[in-house]
Amino acid sequence: MSFYITTPIYYVNAQPHLGHAYTTIATDVLARHMRQRGEDVFFLTGTDEHGEPVADAARAQGLEPRELADGNAERFKSLMPVLNISNDFFIRTSDPQHVLRVQEVLQRVHDNGYVYKGIYEGWYCPRCADFKVENEILEGNLCPIHEIGLTRESEENWFFKLSSFEGRLLELYSDRPDFVMPRHHFNEAHAFIESGLQDVSLSRAHLSWGVPVPWDPTHVFYVWFDALLNYYTALGYARADQDLVERYWPATYHIIGKDILKFHTVYWPALLMAAELHVPEHVFVHGFLLGADGRKMSKSLGNVLDPFEVMDQYGTDALRFYLMRDVPFGSDGAVGMDAVRARYESELANEYGNLASRTIAMIQRYRDGVIPAAATDELLARDFDVLGAEIRAVMDRADPTRALELLWQRIRRLNRYVEERAPWQLARDLEAADQLDQTLASLAEGLRSISVLLHPYMPASTDKLLDALGAPDTEYGRSLFAERGSGAAVKALEPLFPKRAE
Ligand code: MSP
């Protein structure tokens, strides 16, 4: 089955930060998991380059918008391999192919009768590039997201008849209770639609950095419409030799942060309906990462967690693991360097890394480096047999945090097993040779099956470990706990998560 998953496209007016890394890593984990399962995955990320935010930032730096966009898009793009992201394409909304396709789709929306000319007056946030409706505005006419002053703007605009989609959107929500996930965000979006929709501005007149409106080239499209369409346009040109629209549209999952819920759960499906295109299957809305003090991260509060510092000290896999482990996906959560260190030391270094080192060292010491081809422990098997199906079920609900919890229960189970069986004692007793064979075979097998399932989270470390266990295959079926040890030769393994000097 095809599985098309996307991240938001990131504004190039800012430097990449933890929030961007978070969404991208979560999306990568889901994409890698589905690839393991043999699904036909396409994973898209990229940059959002048009509109005021970029034009303003460029002006402030004395640059042309394109120069700023080129430089910053490159920063986002080069971050992908650093985070070990497996995206299949990186879209830039300044790509000429994107621009052409945006014009094509929006021309159709126009021709279908959903566009008209009118005067827009309202409170506008230049950082959001969004007009705010009255009940969103903070006291003193401040933006609810950026807490900066809104400007009163009035201009002649092209409008999109969002209001005429109220009924169809409500129908969509009642037909598809998992259109927006998790549930509390479904309810939020649903309530927004129920409270009544106003038409929205589709174009801006006093801006040249954008996609020109084909029927009125004195306007460019309002950046959100240009941006949302990236999910569709990319499929048209990501591969020179094939049109991927047939194969992947509609998207299976859009993964987004809760700040952009309205655009993805209200405007976007309405726009697609207006263009006679299928709406995505799911929009998954995750929460916000907060500073360790539980407040919004901000440089002035000094509570920002720097992903590059985490990677420098603990490595990319540790960052990926930490973000998926510490904050339940779908909720807000506090993050900080102390918590990273605690998880790294207790869970990665002690529980998982140590288990791996000990298991391999014991196989080397007691069995000349060969995993005994002995029957595995039945009790342990009972715990492990259901693991693959459990993970599959929670990942189908896009819950990578719960999946990690299930995996960690098994890692702890294996550590208890080592203590219960005390292989170092069995090794002293020749009559216990079978038991020792069984213990080592079971440990190697448990570790292998867990590592296959952990692979989407920590690709580099699990590859090393699986290679050391002589079983590098990470296909999902391989996560099954086998009845017998493999008989494979193990290889020496450097500590996967070395202790860090304080
Ligand atoms: N360009 C728009 C999105 C257009 S999608 C068609 C945009 N870009 S952004 O650069 O501001 O990125 C916003 C996204 O970054 C959020 O939706 C979220 O995925 C991520 N995050 C930014 N800060 C975040 C946190 N503090 N915590 C978690 N994720 C956050 O909006």
pLDDT digits (tens, 9 = 90+) for 318-343: 999 999 999 999 999 999 999 999 99
Between CA 239 and CA 250, with CA 244 as vertex, the angle to 5 degrees is 140
Rounded distance from Cα 285 to ligand 1 centre (Å): 11
Return mean pLDDT, the chain: 95
Rounded distance from Cα 260 to ligand 1 centre (Å): 7
* Phi, psi at 425, each rounded to 5°: -80, -45
Question: Which helix (H) or strand (E) element contains residue 159?
Answer: strand 151-160
* Phi, psi at 63, each rounded to 5°: -115, 160
* Phi, psi at 256, each rounded to 5°: -140, 165
pLDDT at position 389 over 80: yes
Rounded distance from Cα 410 to ligand 1 centre (Å): 34
Q: Which atom of ligand 1 is nearest to the CA of 260?
A: 17
From 8-17, 282-291, 431-440, the region with the lowest mean pLDDT: 8-17
Nearest alpha carbon, ligand 1 atom 25:
19
Q: How many CA atoms lie within 13 A of 477 on its CB side?
A: 2
CB neighbours of residue 280 within 10 Å: 22
Q: Which atom of ligand 1 is nearest to the CA of 264?
A: 6
Q: How far apart are CA 277 and CA 168, in angstroms?
A: 14
User: What local confidence, expressed as pLDDT, does residue 299 receive?
Assistant: 83
> Is 258 designated active site?
no
Nearest alpha carbon, ligand 1 atom 16:
257
Q: Give the residues surrounding ligand 1 with Cβ less than 6 Å away.
A: 8-11, 19-20, 22-23, 48, 227-228, 230, 256-257, 259-260, 288-289, 297
DSSP 56-79: HHHHHTT--HHHHHHHHHHHHHHH
Catalytic annotation, pick one of 20, 185, 262, 455? 20
User: What local confidence, expressed as pLDDT, does residue 413 receive?
Assistant: 98
CB neighbours of residue 151 within 10 Å: 11
Q: State the average pLDDT over residues 1-24.
A: 95
Q: How far apart are CA 28 and CA 61, in angstroms?
A: 33
Q: How far apart are CA 21 and CA 15, in angstroms?
A: 11
Q: Which atom of ligand 1 is nearest to the CA of 296?
A: 26
Tens of pLDDT, residue by residue over 128-176, are 877 787 778 888 889 988 889 999 988 889 999 999 999 999 999 999 9
> Is 299 designated active site?
yes
Rounded distance from Cα 428 to ligand 1 centre (Å): 58
Rounded distance from Cα 310 to ligand 1 centre (Å): 20
User: What local confidence, expressed as pLDDT, does residue 208 receive?
Assistant: 84
* Phi, psi at 352, each rounded to 5°: -90, -55
Amino acid sitting at position 180:
V
User: What local confidence, expressed as pLDDT, does residue 499 receive?
Assistant: 86
Q: How far apart are CA 275 and CA 369, in angstroms?
A: 62
Please answer whether residues 199 and 163 qualify as being in contact, where contact means their C-beta atoms are separated by less than 8 angstroms: yes
From 25-34, 55-64, 173-182, the region with the lowest mean pLDDT: 55-64
Q: Which of 6, 18, 20 to mutate to test the pocket of ligand 1 (most atoms within 8 A of CB)?
A: 20
Nearest alpha carbon, ligand 1 atom 8:
10
> Is 282 designated active site?
no
* Phi, psi at 456, each rounded to 5°: -60, -25
Catalytic annotation, pick one of 146, 184, 206, 491? 146
Nearest alpha carbon, ligand 1 atom 24:
19
Nearest alpha carbon, ligand 1 atom 21:
19
Please answer whether residues 449 and 479 qualify as being in contact, where contact means their C-beta atoms are separated by less than 8 angstroms: yes
Q: Which of 17, 256, 285 to mutate to test the pocket of ligand 1 (most atoms within 8 A of CB)?
A: 256
What dihedral do alpha carbons 171, 173, 176, 178 form, nearest 10°? 180
Helix ranges restricted to H, 195-279: 223-228, 230-237, 245-248, 261-262, 268-274
Nearest alpha carbon, ligand 1 atom 10:
10
> Is 264 designated active site?
no
User: What local confidence, expressed as pLDDT, does residue 125 receive?
Assistant: 87
Catalytic annotation, pick one of 143, 264, 282, 464? 143
Q: How far apart are CA 40 and CA 42, in angstroms?
A: 7
User: What local confidence, expressed as pLDDT, does residue 502 receive?
Assistant: 60
- Take residue 452 and report the two structure tokens written for it: 């296959």
**For the whole model, what pTM was predicted?**
0.95
Q: Which atom of ligand 1 is nearest to the CA of 23?
A: 19
Q: How far apart are CA 125 and CA 331, in angstroms?
A: 26
> Is 190 designated active site?
no
Residues 6+ apart with CB under 8 A from 459: 32, 84, 317
pLDDT at position 410 over 70: yes
Catalytic annotation, pick one of 33, 125, 219, 262? 125
Please answer whether residues 171 and 160 qualify as being in contact, where contact means their C-beta atoms are separated by less than 8 angstroms: no
DSSP 270-326: HHHHHTT-PPPSEEEEE--EE-TTSSBP-GGGT----HHHHHHHH-HHHHHHHHHHH
Tens of pLDDT, residue by residue over 185-229, are 999 999 999 999 999 999 988 778 999 999 999 999 999 999 999
More confident site: 135 or 470:
470
Catalytic annotation, pick one of 77, 98, 128, 190? 128
Residue 5's DSSP bridge partners are 43, 253
Nearest CA-CA partner of 25 in 89, 83, 88, 72 = 83
Please answer whether residues 105 and 275 qualify as being in contact, where contact means their C-beta atoms are separated by less than 8 angstroms: yes
Please answer whether residues 231 and 44 qualify as being in contact, where contact means their C-beta atoms are separated by less than 8 angstroms: yes
- Take residue 274 and report the two structure tokens written for it: 């207006």
